[in-house]
Chain A
Amino acid sequence: MSEPFGASIEFRSVSKSFPGTAAPALTELNLRIEAGELMVLVGPSGCGKTTTLRLINRLIEPTSGAVLVDGAETTTHAVEVLRRDIGYVIQHVGLFPHRTIAQNIATVPKLLGWSASTIAERVDELAAEVGLDHDLLRRYPAELSGGQQQRVGVARALAARPRILLMDEPFSAVDPIVRSRLQDELARLHQRVGTTIVLVTHDIDEAVRLGDRVAVFATGRLAQVATPDALMAAPADAFVESFLGADRSLRRLALRTLGQLVDRTHTPDAASEVRLDAGLPGRSAVDALLASGADRVAVTESGRVVGHLTLAALTRLLATPDGHT
């Protein structure tokens, strides 16, 4: 990871009740998000994850408790000042329909009073960064596809190099293929830029795929915070367990490549057995074992067998909390 210049975020006993609703949206939330971390907030609808996100840039004010960015309460400065240092991407993108793509991306730099030439340079840089064709910059949002609009949304959010990026279901309005590509790009972008990212989703697959850590919300409370692997290895309670689904062992195996799982002590033999490349996800070994009926598969690197995996070995791996041998 590059120099993490992102800011830390801390919730101290934050509660939020909306007028006219009986149950609080959020009860006594305590959560620390480290600088440069990609934290995913996940849970069913109405669990308080979006409320939590919007508390960070003060689109929602807490009923009680405090939200801190880099150790300072978010109420220290004018709300506009806070927000201009926090990027924000939402499911419905919310591009300004009357402004060109370039003007949309330039929104916050313009509010901050950057010079026209600096802005133009930054817009070009961002277009390249998020994979937007340069010709699109002069178009209006209505002329772009959903996937392209979402890229513009990300570029606009990152324009003034915010130290925090908030994303509310950013990929749920695009089709699965585009979604998967955008998720990969976000992971790479996070590696490169080092911004703290808080991402809200209801999709547990997206959560474990993207998150450095995952915070699972039940109705108005934080049920568990953990790395994806630790989460699936040891759900804190029945709610988390049911939310993770019945196939969390397979999901856990999907987080690792065969190369990371393989037992390299075995001597290679038996030319007839199933061979899988080390770069494949762990669950492909389970698939191959089930399909072939064999008791082990061979794992190869550049075509050379480097070791084997058996069902028993996979079971042992899953039994260890951190999933390592």
Chain B
Amino acid sequence: MLAAQEPLVRWDWLGSHLDLLGERAVEHLGLTVVSFVLGTLIAAVLTSVIRRWRWTTGPITTLTTVLYTIPSVALFAALIPVFGVGTTVPVIALTTYSLVVLTPFLVSAFDQIDPPVLDAADAMGMTRGQRLRSVELPVALPSVIAGLRVTAVTIIGLVTVGGLFGLGGFGDFIDEGLTRDFPTLIVVGVIGSVLLALAADATLVAIGHLASPWRRPRGSSLDAAEAAT
């Protein structure tokens, strides 16, 4: 129970700890980016394995689902005795969650490509690499971005959980705030990670928007075009 006289946010604390705020933000972002990138790379490999050898879908899906059911708190707690306190544990745990969240998105992003489009690409005489680069990746991109958004937001949230184990980031504020019964830290920790999640999401949306001009029809001029022929 919080002391009645303690305000929700002590603005003077906030003003005098801007450097600490920045430090935690960098930690949070750093952990997120590293595990996000690693997770994306592994998910990409798993996706190409699944697309190449369809029978691997079952085993890979089962594995990622099982991993996903491990509560994050339990995973952090289990890994710390093995790898000690440092960046190894959060990176392993967060990378695992990244690939677990992202792999199904990537597989379905490529599965959603209209089969005639791939048929046409083959029939035009594209090599496998040309087809992947110039057709599959760009066509799947909007769905890939959707998966990346969910992954980024999930990871940012999990980094906050990692803070409870002294792994840095905005979660540290929350942990400390709970221990010291100091609500300002809790509020700062929560708002910080929410803002970070929103910023990451907005960035990915913007990238997707810029990279997929074909998804933004310039007004429907279909009827005019139809009438002209």
A96-B139, A131-B229 known, 14 other contacts, Cβ within 8 Å? A83-B125, A90-B123, A95-B120, A96-B121, A97-B139, A98-B212, A111-B124, A111-B130, A133-B228, A135-B228, A142-B217, A143-B222, A145-B222, A148-B226
Given contact pairs A96-B139, A98-B212, A88 touches B123 in the complex (Cβ within 8 A):
yes
Q: Are A90 and B214 in contact, CB atoms less than 8 angstroms apart?
A: no
Q: Are B229 and A133 in contact, CB atoms less than 8 angstroms apart?
A: yes
Which residue from A96, A144, A156 sits with its C-beta under 8 Å from B135? A96
Task: Report B-chain residues with C-beta under 8 Å of the C-beta of A140.
Answer: 214, 217
Q: Are A95 and B123 in contact, CB atoms less than 8 angstroms apart?
A: no
Task: Report B-chain residues with C-beta under 8 Å of the C-beta of A132.
Answer: 229
Task: Report A-chain residues with C-beta under 8 Å of the C-beta of B212.
Answer: 98
How would residues 194 to 229 of chain B score, 1 for a CB under 8 Å from any chain A CB and 0 otherwise? 000000000000000000101001101110011011
Task: Report A-chain residues with C-beta under 8 Å of the C-beta of B126.
Answer: 80, 111
Task: Report A-chain residues with C-beta under 8 Å of the C-beta of B85.
Answer: none
20 pairs, CB–CB < 8 Å, chain A vs chain B:
A59-B119, A59-B123, A81-B125, A82-B125, A83-B124, A86-B123, A94-B114, A94-B118, A96-B120, A96-B121, A98-B135, A98-B139, A133-B228, A135-B228, A136-B225, A139-B221, A139-B225, A144-B225, A145-B226, A148-B229
Q: Are A142 and B116 in contact, CB atoms less than 8 angstroms apart?
A: no
Cα of A276 to Cα of B13 in the assembled complex, Å = 100
Task: Report A-chain residues with C-beta under 8 Å of the C-beta of B127.
Answer: 80
- B138 at interface by CB-CB < 8 Å: yes
Given contact pairs A59-B119, A96-B135, A143 touches B225 in the complex (Cβ within 8 A):
yes
Task: Report how many residues on chain A are interfacial, defined by Cβ distance under 8 Å.
Answer: 39
A interface residues with partner B (beta carbon < 8 Å): 57, 59, 79-84, 86, 88, 90-100, 107-108, 111, 131-133, 135-136, 139-140, 142-145, 147-148, 156, 166
- B6 at interface by CB-CB < 8 Å: no
Most chain A CB inside 10 Å of its own CB: which residue of B117, B118, B217, B218: B117
Q: Are B124 and A143 in contact, CB atoms less than 8 angstroms apart?
A: no
